[in-house]
Amino acid sequence: MRILISGACGRMGRAVAACAKNMGIDVACGVDPCPTDTTFPLYPNFESVQEKVDCIIDFSRADGLDGLLTYALSHTTPCVICSTGFSAEQLKQIEDASKRIPIFRSANMSVGIAVLRKLSRMASELLGDDFDVEIIEAHHNQKLDAPSGTALMLFNEIKDAYQVPREQVNGRNGIRKREKNEIGMHALRGGTVAGEHAVCYFGPMERIELRHSAEDRSVFAVGSLKAAGFLVSQKAGMYTMDDMLKLN
């Protein structure tokens, strides 16, 4: 399998390249507007790419989506989209593109996070309205979006478990009592944290916490490479970790 890494010079792009070498996967080329030295051909944009690739792995930024999808659609190339911070309009673009090419999209490429999401859904269904839910996430000080895409993914999974709509509240400020229908979202930024997420359930005189900690970025890189291997044999459509891990 020959891959193109979008965002090849970023932290995750470099991790994907390193893990690909260890897994015997060929990095045909990369795209990054801020180039550094690489062992493979590197281009500032998709228009310049010359190599033929089997799959794109994207760990870039939301503002690079147009170039990514234009290239993928014109070359009928499957895409593993791991970037976060997309607008509603951009998510619609991705959905529309998946009608023509295979697209794998996840805010987090960790198998452990996929399990955490399932456990959070199960806990919410079992505990019901007797427990208040708060989500806490922590990342390195260079991360641009907050709350993280993973925290938003957890929120959406949890809110769908309830009959009554749940409201996303980012942080807490001022003099105001917590409402029953709220799910708090708290983002911490500092240092070199690869990624930590916790879903906390506060009930009458007891508390349950579900936690996941990524100790190294290679967790996400390996997950994206496994997703690419899964995706290249699929027909056009939208795929997630649930499809790859058969969690549906």
Kind and range of the H or E run holding 155 = helix 149-159
Marked catalytic residue, from 139, 159, 186, 226: 139
Strands 2-6 and 55-58, how do they pair? parallel
Residue 186 among the catalytic residues: no
Residue of 92, 140, 143, 235 marked active site = 143
Sign of the CA dihedral with 105 first, then 109, 115, and 120 last = negative
Residue whose C-alpha is closest to residue 116's, from 63, 157, 59, 173: 157
212 catalytic residue (yes or no): no
- Spatial contact of 137 and 186, defined as CB atoms under 8 Å apart: yes
Instruction: Assess contact for 149 and 108: CB atoms under 8 A.
Output: yes
Single-letter amino acid code for the residue at 242: D
What is the edge-to-edge ordering of all strands in the sheet holding 26-31?
42-43, 26-31, 2-6, 55-58, 79-81, 102-105, 237-239
- Could you list the active site residues? 139, 143
